[in-house]
Structure 1
Amino acid sequence: MIISGMDQLRDTRTYRLVLTGGPCGGKTTSQARLSTFFENLGWKVYRVPETATVLISCKFQENLLKTMLQIENTFFELGRTSRRNTLIICDRGAMDASAFITREQWESIMAANGWNNVELRDNRYDHIIHLVSAAKGAEDFYTLEDHACRSENIELARELDDKAASAWIGHPYFDVIDNSTPFEEKIRRVIASVCHKVGIDPGDRLVTNSKKRKFLIKGPLPPDSAFPPFEDFDVVHHYLTSATPEVEARLRKRGQNGHWSYTHTIRKPRIHDQAVEVKTQLTHRDYVNFLSQSDYLHFPIYKTRRCFLLQNQYFQLDMYRKPSHPRCDSLILLETYSALNDDQLQASLPEFLEIEREVTGDPAFSMYNLSLLADWHNTPRVLNALKEFHNGHTNGVAEKNKRNIE
């Protein structure tokens, strides 16, 4: 469970959500249902006009992108000044425009306006949800009816869906909602995904079984050409001192080509068997100030994170690097969130990677333990976690005892 907030000093928060995807994916229905759900909880909900649809139909023009950003900024400011928690739903976002021009054209526009992908993708929006087109996995339900602007056949719809997904690869909170369930459940998965990120417990109304899964990868990695399109990021984590032992605090610096985003995370005790994480975006100045609270009992964690999509499954490959603790030497971990059963998930894992074993829930591979300066095996906290982990496997209920500290 992740709670995201833009304004540390306010009791309310603004959550900026992008709904993207191919034609006939459920974006319109999702907007309506999200609005109703969060308004019933007392939130203020804004729906940004569909400027991005104009961008796509007009082949994209720079001035229209500027218009879209200005419209969004107006709604973001309304959220910032609101006295209530606010959800802002964007029907597509800035990066969708990049999918329909060449990479060279996009980079030229970025340079001309002083923009960069980290700002437009990672820092601008809190959460991206890609709704896979019905043309991929639910072809019987793909239709051009009731949509005056839709003229794509199934082949084109699949192509557009792939392009829209590729545009957002690399965002730290990117969820892909496929067509593996009936449409009504697909919409519930969308709402549950947002609830999970903002820290709302919806009870039994939106039951989902998507969980974080982690796998140990044997190196060396194959050449880059073996991967589908990917984005690489430099990531640095620092653990901070905490007055309460069961509460963890850490900083994350994440970027590309010298452009960075900064996040402060507080991990609280579990609620209803879910970890609660309060995530706040920081300015560079705030990040530097927080660094003074670094915990000397932990090494900083340095890694390269590679993000890619494969068969509608979003993967993050973490390649640990120096000067992390020596126990991290040559360590490579693959992560994904999935509701698939074990056999289905195994079939969807990248065949070009040599997977040694699944390490979901194993304290030996939690980032917190990997960063500890001392021999973490003998600490009371880890001994208890190991006991729970091994008892869980013995009793066949390991899921109950999982505690991934990352």
Structure 2
Amino acid sequence: MMQIEKTYCELAQMSTKNCLIICDRGIMDATAYMKPEQWEEMKMKNGWNEIELRDNRYNQVIHMVTAAKGAEKFYSTEHAVRYESPDVARNLDDMASQAWVGHPYYDVIDNSTDFEAKLIRMISTVTDRLGMDFRERLNVNSKKRKFLVRELPSLEAIDMAASAETKGYPQFQDFDVVHDYLATPGQKTQARIRKRGQNGNWTYTHTIRRYLQNNESAETKMHITSRDYTNLLAQIDEKHQTIYKTRRCFLWNDQYYQMDLYKEPCQERCKGLILLETYSTIPAMEPLDLPSFLDIVKEVTGDPYYSMYNLSSKVWLQNTKGKATVSHDSIPNEVANGDVHQEATSNGDHDETNGDINGLR
């Protein structure tokens, strides 16, 4: 498999046209078909690590959930290469999807729609990642939603949830994440760099967001080298503090979640902060089937107080003076002009005076 991928990459590099290489399977899929100790032995013999195999090797991973989960009437073993029973297929699907948890650009396409819509959703995730605008043709209305979590559940709480016939804490992957915002020539451009890794193995990303007309923005994300990352550190915006987080990635009912646990050193308002993110076609503020083992305080989608850009700002709270300016992540053009504001609340959700988030202290 690795040799085949290498061959296609070499062919793509020789081409004078832009190329997109789509792999039907990836290296991590193999872990679903072997024992964990066999996989660990293979990694050790070949000097592999999962950051390289999973995160750096592929720019995007899309897991298409088997029809045996949610579309059983369409699952058939009459297919030439499909011989697993539905139960076996579901088990392999769980293991294969779990193998990719932690990839920075991982999408799970379930069977909540018919097959044609499922394909459109899959294609849309690719075009979005490539920055290609097919909104009218591939309108799936999937938006990021963000939730404030009170605290991590204790082991006792997890056991109680499991005994109540609900799933306990699922398998997860933890990553160390460091974000820095860079100085830019104007307010209509935002730039940041990120390093993300496990056990001393890192991936590096440079993101540039440009704000356009009609409240729209164009974002470019680029994988960069360690050397590029080090050079860009010289451009850090001194008005922003470095953000340190543990990012916990997991699957819950075939929905992919990322939970950010903010770490010190950080500003006072970030101490103990835990934010859960996922993508959904269900509009913001409408009920969503969230992980039952988490104590969700409220939804904070679009709330400028919980924008990472504002959380990293050393002057944002002082500049609001009783009002919270909508962040660049929300309504960019008006913010750039200083026209739009959102009233700050004082109902116990957050304290503008000292920056402490009630319920997290």
TM over 0.5: yes
Alpha-carbon shift at residue 383 of structure 1 (Å) = 2.1
TM-score under structure 1 normalisation? 0.75
> Where in structure 2 are the equivalents of 1:210-289 lying within 5 Å?
210-223=142-155, 226-270=168-212, 274-289=216-231
The equivalent of 2:24 in structure 1 is 91
SS in 1 for 2:119: helix
Query: What one-letter code is carried by the residue in structure 1 that aligns with 2:7?
Result: T
Superposition deviation, residue 388 in structure 1: 5.5
Give me the CA root mean square deviation: 2.3
**Kindly tell me: are residues 83 and 298 of structure 1, through their superposed partners in 2, closer, same or farther at Cα, counting changes over 3 Å?**
same
> Counterparts of 1:294 and 1:283 in 2: how far apart (Å)?
17
Q: Which residue of 1 aligns with 2:275?
A: 333
Moved more, 266-275 or 119-128: 266-275
Shift of 1:221: 3.3
Q: Could you list the per-position Cα deviations for residues 330-378 of structure 1 after superposition, in whole angstroms to 9, with x for gaps in the alignment? A: 00000001113569852x2011110000000111001010001123462
Normalized per residue, which structure has more helix?
1
Structure 2 match to 1:33: none
For residues 318 and 111 of structure 2, what CA distance do their matches in structure 1 show?
Answer: 43
Mapped to 2, the partners of 1:336 and 1:389 lie a distance apart of 26
Deviation string for 1:244-294 (max 9, x for gaps)?
321111111100011111111111215775542211111111111111111
Structure 2 Cα separation of the partners of residues 95 and 143 of structure 1: 25
C-alpha separation in 1, matches of 2:109 and 2:132? 19
Q: Deviations over 1:163-183 (max 9, x none)?
A: 110110000111111111111
Runs of 4+ deviating beyond 3 Å: 223-226, 270-275, 340-345, 379-382, 384-391
Inter-CA distance 248–150: structure 2 relative to 1 (3 Å threshold): same
Which one of the candidate residues 354, 360, 382 is aligned to 2:301?
360
**One-letter code of the match for 1:131?**
M
* 2:241 is the counterpart of 1:299: yes
Give distance in 2, aligned partners of 1:247 and 1:382. Answer: 20
State how far apart, in whole Å, the 1-side matches of 2:144 and 2:105 are: 13
CA shift at 1:185, angstroms? 0.7
Question: Aligned partner of 1:353: which letter?
Answer: L
**Which of the residues 76, 79, 82 maps onto 2:9?**
76
User: Which of 100, 115, 119 pairs up with 1:168?
Assistant: 100
Label 1:177 to 1:296 Cα distance change in 2 as closer, same or farther (>3 A): same
Structure 1 segments unaligned to the other structure (5+ residues): 1-67, 392-406
Matched, 1:209 2:141: yes
Partner of 2:349: none
Distance (whole Å) between structure 2 residues aligned to residue 130 and residue 172 of structure 1 = 14
In the TM superposition, residue 112 of structure 1 has moved relative to its aligned partner by 1.3
2:259 and 2:274 in contact (8 A); partners too: yes
Gaps of 5+ in 2: 160-167, 331-338, 344-361
Deviation at 1:84, TM superposition (A): 2.2
**Distance of 1:362 and 1:327 partners within structure 2:** 15
C-alpha distance 251-343 of structure 1, shift in aligned 2 (>3 A): closer
- Count residues in correspondence: 322
Kindly indicate whether residue 55 of structure 2 is the aligned counterpart of residue 148 of structure 1: no
TM-score normalised per structure 2: 0.84
